[in-house]
Structure 1
Amino acid sequence: MKLADLVNHAANKQQFQQLSDYIDFCRQYLAFVETGLQARIVSQNESYYQFFQYGVEGQYNISRPINTRLFYTAESFETMISHFTQTFTDLKQGQRVDDEQRDRIIRIIYTLQQTIGAALDALPAGKSNQARKVNGDLFERLIRLLLQEMGADCTAGVVQVPVKDDAGALLFHTSYQHDLLIRHAGDLKVIGSVKTSSKDRLDKVFVDKFLYSRLTGTALPHIAIFLNDVQRKKTKQENSYGISTTFLPGHFRAYTVKLNPLDGVYYCDIRPNMREDALLSTHIRTIDHLFLDDLWELLNKPSGD
């Protein structure tokens, strides 16, 4: 498939309705990058990140940072994708998984989404806002599809939250749109936010939980899922790039300590300080933990806890 075909495919959200649609597109894009790139640019400050530069058909655009420790090659993807789908089958049957399977979950999700994002980076500069919106929407859909693969009742939608006076009388309802509404036995059990990055979005996730808890008098779990928190930055050398982080650790600590902690924060491409900092590492984990450890614990948590 040519780059123009890949870009047009990625820009059309209707092309991604099932998990198999993501897998098929990923195969096509990985096959393209084997021989179709103008160049691979190595990050100057964290060398395991690369940037894909397209040729004239992609306006010589340079992609977002790609973590080569997570991003599969075409050959590796073909080997691992069948194991990935089997892992979800095993999980539904209550079987335990090993560290290799955990790593595979992280890397497959990362590769599936980054092939879409990197393809959209070939759009003309004037369409960058459109690309961000499409990429974000498709990541939300991917996470919902994966949760549904696990057997979870998971949708996006609007929650009507009652607002009452001090005497308990209903005044009105206010509406909140959420990326993830996960139910169990008909009851809403988890509210989630799914974003490709926490940039300009971190505050809202914490505030959403605070407002929901105050308005309803409950402690319904709220979780956040992020793909990564890195972006391309220029260096002093021409045509040379590095990466910078978009995560704000001070904000995260402040909201966690002084407002309310979230009930799970998950990343595909987790940053070193999220592993090394005592407070951050307590609250932020890789995305495999959602599927393998936390999901059913959250769903089986008694209402009102």
Structure 2
Amino acid sequence: MTLSHFVARARNKANFQEIEDYLQFTSDLLSSQSSWLQAEIVCQNEPNYRFWQLLIESRFPISRPLNATLLCSLNDLRDFKAHLLGDIGRREFMTSLDPSARELMNRVIYTSQQCIGVALDGLPADASNFARKLNGDLFERQMQLWIRRMGVDCSSATVRVPVYVDGVKQCDMNFQHDLVLTAGEEVKVIGSVKTSSKDRLGKIFTDKLLLNALTEKAVPHVAIFLNDVQRGKKSDRTYRVASTFLPGHFKAFTIKINPLDGVYYCDLRPSMKTDPLLNASIFRIDRLLCEDLWALLDRDIHAPIAIEDDEGLS
């Protein structure tokens, strides 16, 4: 199959309705590399990243940077589907996974999303904004599907919060969120899902501050990011990556506004592992799915929040 086939497939959201659809797309793309992968370029400043030079319609676009240490092989994908996928709906199974299985889960999520991104990199340059939006939507959907497969009610939705003054209702305020996790009628967790934190950190922290001030309840807020790496400036045929994570902003928001209840990445930046505050606040996505999600759902919140518009899978 040519890359044009995968571009057309990735452009249609209807092709991604279940986790299996993401895994099948990934398997098909990787098994067809010989037909569309022109060359692999090693990143100059962070050698664990690779750029793929793509072959499509007599063009040779360069892909987004890919962390080679996180990319799954076809055997990895087969092992995941055979030994892990069928049991992720069982809490006791997820909470007892060993480190290697958890690492594989993180790599599967990363690889499947990045394969969609690579396909969309094959679009013409004037479609870059469309590709970015679509990739973000499909990552949001993927995370919804993982959480739903675990037996948790989850959707993108608008929540309605009543605003009172001296016991008298004045108005309602609506907040739209990528993830709203519920148990019955109760909103348990609010989440933001983005491929990158670039230009988005402030809103996530502010959303938690406003919602908790209005409800007078500590409603858990989490943020999920794929990575924070983008193409650096290309000059003299040198390929580099640049970080889109702003550690100073994150620390200031955490210290002076309010800490989030969990921040999760597939691809952690080096500072997230070495800086004490970042290391205590930012984790791999498998930690959310195997540990933190259950602890958050067990909290008694009882915030006066209603679902205004359940949008389901976006």
TM-score (norm 2): 0.92
Are the counterparts in 2 of residues 158 and 175 from structure 1 also a CA contact under 8 Å? yes
Match of 2:81 in 1: 81
Match of 1:65 in 2: 65
Offset of 1:95 from its aligned partner? 5.9
Give, in whole Å, the separation in 1 of the partners of 2:20 and 2:80: 14
CA offsets, 1:13-51, max 9 Å, x none?
111111111111111111122452111111001111001
Is 1:201 the counterpart of 2:200? The answer is yes
Are the counterparts in 1 of residues 80 and 105 from structure 2 also a CA contact under 8 Å? no
Offset of 1:86 from its aligned partner? 4.0
Give, in whole Å, the separation in 1 of the partners of 2:29 and 2:94: 34
Match of 2:270 in 1: 272
Offset of 1:82 from its aligned partner? 2.2
Give, in whole Å, the separation in 1 of the partners of 2:26 and 2:256: 42
Match of 2:211 in 1: 212
Are the counterparts in 2 of residues 92 and 150 from structure 1 also a CA contact under 8 Å? no
For 2:9, what is the secondary structure of its paired residue? helix
Match of 2:133 in 1: 133
Match of 2:297 in 1: 299
User: What are structure 2's unaligned runs of at least 5 residues?
Assistant: 304-314
Match of 1:221 in 2: 220
Identical-residue share of aligned pairs (%): 47
Aligned letter for 1:116? I
Match of 1:153 in 2: 153
Give, in whole Å, the separation in 1 of the partners of 2:86 and 2:104: 11
Give, in whole Å, the separation in 1 of the partners of 2:299 and 2:195: 28
Are the counterparts in 2 of residues 221 and 262 from structure 1 also a CA contact under 8 Å? yes
Aligned letter for 1:262? L
Give, in whole Å, the separation in 2 of the partners of 1:183 and 1:103: 27
2:284 is matched with which residue: 270, 283, 286? 286
Aligned letter for 2:138? L
Are the counterparts in 2 of residues 90 and 96 from structure 1 also a CA contact under 8 Å? no
Aligned letter for 2:167? G
Match of 2:27 in 1: 27
Match of 1:258 in 2: 256
Is 1:188 the counterpart of 2:181? The answer is no
Match of 2:124 in 1: 124
CA offsets, 1:135-157, max 9 Å, x none?
00000000010001111111111
For 1:295, what is the secondary structure of its paired residue? helix
Give, in whole Å, the separation in 2 of the partners of 1:159 and 1:80: 35
Match of 1:246 in 2: 244
Give, in whole Å, the separation in 2 of the partners of 1:56 and 1:89: 39
User: What are structure 1's unaligned runs of at least 5 residues?
Assistant: none
Offset of 1:265 from its aligned partner? 0.3
CA spacing shift, 1:58–1:293, aligned 2, 3 Å: farther
Give, in whole Å, the separation in 1 of the partners of 2:29 and 2:58: 14
Offset of 1:88 from its aligned partner? 1.3
Give, in whole Å, the separation in 1 of the partners of 2:257 and 2:93: 38
Aligned letter for 1:203? G
Match of 2:162 in 1: 162
Are the counterparts in 2 of residues 84 and 108 from structure 1 also a CA contact under 8 Å? no
Give, in whole Å, the separation in 1 of the partners of 2:26 and 2:136: 16
Offset of 1:185 from its aligned partner? 3.5
CA spacing shift, 1:40–1:261, aligned 2, 3 Å: same
CA offsets, 1:155-181, max 9 Å, x none?
11101122222x131111121110000
Structure having greater relative contact order (Cα 8 Å, sep ≥ 6) = 2
Are the counterparts in 2 of residues 144 and 180 from structure 1 also a CA contact under 8 Å? yes
The count of aligned residue pairs is 303
Aligned letter for 1:233? G
For 2:144, what is the secondary structure of its paired residue? helix
Give, in whole Å, the separation in 2 of the partners of 1:23 and 1:241: 29
For 1:155, what is the secondary structure of its paired residue? strand
Output aligned runs, 1:106-117, within 5 Å.
106-117=106-117
Give, in whole Å, the separation in 1 of the partners of 2:119 and 2:57: 12
Offset of 1:92 from its aligned partner? 5.4
CA spacing shift, 1:37–1:128, aligned 2, 3 Å: same
For 1:57, what is the secondary structure of its paired residue? coil
TM-score (norm 1): 0.95
For 2:109, what is the secondary structure of its paired residue? helix
